[in-house]
Amino acid sequence: MVKLPFVVEPRLKPRLEKVGSDESGYLECERRGYLTSGEKAFVQQAFSNDDSTILLIGLARKVAHHYEVDVSSAYQAVIAVLSGGEPEGFESLQALFFEDINNCIRELTNLQAREDMVMALCMLRYRVNTEASVEDVMGLHPDVVKGLVELYRDEEARSVERLKGEVKKDEIQDGMTEDKIEEAEKKPKVANAT
């Protein structure tokens, strides 16, 4: 990767983080505090043909027609049923649309599993090994996949808490105390004038 002429260098440097467990083993993956545009595009591309929303809207239309309500109210009722609730004014909704609701649940469950697989593959391919494949992810222990997915979600949320924690740990190990770290963070950085 080309070295860019930053006027101010990024404050937090990427760090290797271990994902996995004692049972699964640990894999090192880079934590940056953000997702690159390539990583975002990779995951978005994988879900560009997701049919779960169309399935939910189709069911909401059926429910709206049956109960003679607007589609928005029916959609909220369907979501409530999928979440395990029983919405008011929609008696027997689950019994009347049992097969449709099961199809939605099945599709959403499959979508979640695919989403986890794609996020884990994204982290592997972009941060560990560019030749990683779906088969590689499928062969991983669930703890490692879970760790990769959690890392992806943290990076998507642009969480830098773990990076900050690592910086503080390093500084404490180098003789800095928490008080000194807070004091150093408050002081403005002055360039050497020689």
Q: Are residues 75 and 56 in contact, defined by beta-carbon separation less than 8 angstroms? A: yes
CB-based contacts of 80: which residues, under 8 Å, 6+ apart? 86, 87
Sign of CA dihedral 39, 49, 63, 98: negative
**pLDDT at 111 > cutoff 50:** yes
Phi, psi of 59 (to 5 degrees): -65, -40
pLDDT score for 10: 64
Q: What is the pLDDT of residue 190?
A: 45
Please give the backbone phi and psi of residue 191, each rounded to the nearest 5 degrees, phi first. -75, 150
Per-residue pLDDT tens digits for 17-35: 999 999 999 999 999 989 9
pLDDT at 53: 83
Residue 41 has pLDDT above 70, yes or no: yes
End-to-end distance of the chain based on CA atoms, in angstroms? 33
Model pTM above 0.95: no
Q: Confidence band (pLDDT; 50, 70, 90) for 189?
A: very low
C-alpha span between 114 and 132 (Å, rounded): 16
CA distances from 151 to 1, 11, 55, 144 (A): 23, 20, 30, 11
